[in-house]
Structure 1
């Protein structure tokens, strides 16, 4: 049984994990950079260890310092959250060698599924449909261009070690390929330390649909339904919903069973997400597996009533899943809006600074995941996500109405945010009618400029 958890993260996900641990009677250790000493997660944990200066490479990415803090405080487990080291197989392996429970899958599975080209190969061998593309990794722009020319444009260049929309480029023509490949591979190298790439056929007007998976150490695997993550800007999700507006029960059953098949093929254990794209003819294709908790996990929790962080900890502690696929019921509809410290009118430029005034909405079916408080200084060094605003109601129409209300009530002063931009999306005719895909936000921005 896990008794003390070190959270190898910061911000709202660290706060979320601390709260789950507290409910389970588990002690917590927070880590922080020197600029995060006053951050909410550092204040809420039972213990806090400062592990280095502000740059992530000197603090939140320092495996040696995180492991030293774990051993020094007597924590017996590490929860990596999302981002940072959450999908780093070396870190998971070091935890195992130090007899520290890593709350996530094994290093071997992270390697297999975290490397996107290796994951594609695994899914192909398991008979899971994948987007047409390369089976082997691409190392040079020249080799990639030969394949793209044969495949036909448009194509998508992706980083094998990628995530969060980084190291991805859509290439519309042959002339664009070399430039986009070089910029994508350099971004991948800067973000992940790995510039290995692969190429997929680009499917226009597709929806991004992901299935939440839970798997224990005893071969039990279930899915908790889907999330529609099609509202994106530059491959970064902005709004997520559960369930998807366009998926009926028959398709949900087929995609869910395929997601379980994919997880079993990977030998997966703990919480994970199987991501698909869905074309206009309802054909779906595997694109990747995220071997960690997702930013948007809260909407699944709201429609299923299952606490995913708690389940992660229980699975890592050796417990069996306490429910089967038949026990899982999707109730109502949930929507999440990601509120970022950024200025949409200035090309979404980040807006760090001090929160001078703050009012969070509330009410039945409203959930706020955040680490903000009045007087908190948002640092420039980290991701701009500051609030996850979630609502739940009986139908999608009612959930949209509720989201309008809470977006209108949310007040964050002292910095710029995308609150108004999210409000515009929620009120857009095509969004209300569910006529959206991964290109919706770009089209909406073009409409505003016209």
Structure 2
């Protein structure tokens, strides 16, 4: 369908009062990405070349977030001043529609599980001659959903449940909300929608009956229920998150990733994991994580904004913060934290250490309890550790600092000056032992105790 132009109109003007939040509903996140962002991605993947966002409640915040998500790509924004129904919202984007597109996709910003392949199927229906394509799904219990009324294989109406006849109530094919409309008919059909109903609102669903009455072809395109799942409250937000995670876990396992306890692993929208990687239970991937092949992520690890190359081992109970780069066959052990630091090939920090704002050379061994002192209350400073160096346990490396290749830092040292290659550095006071003084001090302290 690359020869067909497409405009995606995303309706993002709802107040979302049931979320009980100061944040506009469409900016609540699924897998670390705003619901609006998920819908924008689906539209782009389905081939929409132009994007129109209809905003209302929290318009400035929604627009700012959308522009950030667009990353320099263009979109138009239209404000729906009064909430007078879905067709009224679509008509707010009239200026964009008037430019003329082969296909119009009408999407809702609170349906984050939209599949781009489903949207492509709806566009394909238009390319095959349909004038309108409506997304539908089958429900075991259709209570509360609008029904898709078909006749001789064509969709002739979307009937709200309260308006259904007893026969229509038995229909299990339900309205999923999303529509694709042939651009050549769009404005004429939208303008024909009236508000002769109890609420005095303009409903987009009326477009089906209007189109059918004019002899136009309207088709229903079946989708899985999750494509139609709208989020209106925190419970539904959690439901959508669970569905997204289940989908992503399955994709990961089918691509060659082992998840030992899949239900305990949580991905972000952009997580990348290579084949033959093993992820143990209770691992959380925040945004911006890229994992290579044959990596072991041990239990209870937390990764965000990090890159881990092939053959590395992380955890258990490890934390990789933004800017962490773990190279091939490096090891970050239990209760270790890495922030904005590059850990080179084969380097090891097996346990209980913090490395931030640093470059750790190949083959370095960092002993337990080691920290890079990278912050003085005002600025951040870098620690460089050369290849093959050995950092003894309980060492504090005070940045800015360079520890040379092959250098050896004695355990318990506080290192404040650069250490040359292959040097041995001590940064601790000489031990002093006073015979019997321990008992005297203890007796003195005990006498003070009430």
On whether the aligned pair clears a TM of 0.5, the verdict is: no
> Highest CA radius of gyration, 1 or 2?
2
**Higher-helix-fraction structure:** 1
Higher relative contact order (Cα pairs below 8 Å, separated by 6+ residues): 1
Superposition TM-score, scaled by structure 1 size: 0.28
